[in-house]
Structure 1
Amino acid sequence: MAYWEIAVPFTSPHGGEGIHYFTYPLDSCPVPSAAVRAATADAVSEDAVRHRRGAEIAAHSSTTILRTPALW
């Protein structure tokens, strides 16, 4: 099954940096902009903020990739 992978960079309160990944099936987000909107909304959810231990996201710097299963 093909899916969108959105990589959202973040910076921790102590200056550390990292990437928070979000994935969405292609059938629920048929265009990249829909996946980015979903990831931006999910990135500021309580669960995501708790997962990152309060780190701030830089959603404007996100990267979107379409992943597909191997065909062999």
Structure 2
Amino acid sequence: MKNSEIKGLSIDELKSKLAAEKEGLAKLKFAHAITPIENPMRLREAKKLIARISTELRAKEIAQ
């Protein structure tokens, strides 16, 4: 998901997307702990996406 797509979402959409991404990261970490996943860079990408969503959510909350 690109930054331009994240900026177009509303606060409620950002919160739901953030929760979904955090759940996905937890599943990835669990899967990686059991058996190394094929592409471990997916963990880093997921963390960065969560950070971008959190940053945009906080910026929109401050702006209100």
| TM-score for both structures, normalised by structure 2 | 0.34
Q: Which has the higher helix share?
A: 2
Q: Which has the higher strand share?
A: 1
